[in-house]
Amino acid sequence: MKILEVNTYTFITEYKIKTKGGVFIHSVSNDTPELIAKEEIRRYVDKMER
């Protein structure tokens, strides 16, 4: 997993992620701490690679 791009908007932060299964985009609330956001991204990537 590699984070290719991070875009911050008014209410969300959007992550573009490259995995073995392809490139995915995942969004989290700006209220979410970075550590929790990265854990959420890991869970999302695991789900998408199945």
Number of folded domains that form the chain: 1
Domain housing 28: 2-49
What pLDDT digit, counting tens, does each position of 21-47 carry?
A: 899 999 999 999 989 999 999 998 888
Q: Which string of DSSP letters, residue by residue, matches 1-50?
A: -EEEEEEE-SSEEEEEEEETTEEEEEEEETTS-HHHHHHHHHHHHHHHH-
Instruction: Say what the pLDDT of residue 43 is.
Output: 93
Q: Please, which residues have CB within 8 angstroms of residue 32's CB and are 6 or more apart in sequence? A: 13, 40
